[in-house]
Structures are given as C-alpha cells and as structure tokens.
Amino acid sequence: MNPAALYDALNCASTAVLRAEGGDRAGAETDLLEASVAAAGAFPPGSREAEALGVILAAAGRVPEMTPCSC
C-alpha cells in the first residue's frame, strides 16, 4: 500500500464530489482524473483494495447524475 497515493486518490475524489454538487462538472472531471491516476499507485493492481477504491471512484463519478435531495 502507498499511503500518499491513497490519500491523494480519496482527497481528489472528495473534491470532485464537492465540485459536482456545486455544478462545476469540468472541475469535477479533472479531480476524478487525478484521483484515478493516484489510485493506480495506491494498491497492487487486481487486489481487493484496488477494486474497492475503484468502486469509490465510480460512485464519485456518478454524483452529477444523482437527483438533489428533496429533504
């Protein structure tokens, strides 16, 4: 595991979500790209951890598709 790469991947993913929620889709896409690059170095390819991180990034990438909460 590479802790710095994991931190970068999660940090960029969280920033992407915030940007997407704020309507900045271009910024969100850039952050998701950076998260993907960092994620590639976080865990060994094909590991369960790498797969789980991929699921998180995929979910972050779907934020613009979600409908706002009507709470």
> What does pTM read for this prediction?
0.85
For the chain, the distance separating the N- and C-terminal CA atoms, rounded to the nearest angstrom, is 39
In-domain check, residue 69: no
* Helix 3-21 vs helix 25-40: crossing angle, to nearest 10: 170
21-39 pLDDT, tens digit per residue, is: 898 989 999 999 999 999 9
Is pLDDT of 13 > 70? yes
Residue 70 lies in a domain: no
For the stretch 37-63, pLDDT in tens is 999 999 999 999 999 999 999 999 888
Domain total in the chain? 1
Range(s) of the domain holding residue 37: 3-64
For residue 53, is it within any domain? yes
Is residue 51 included in any domain, yes or no? yes
**Would residue 71 count as lying in a domain?**
no
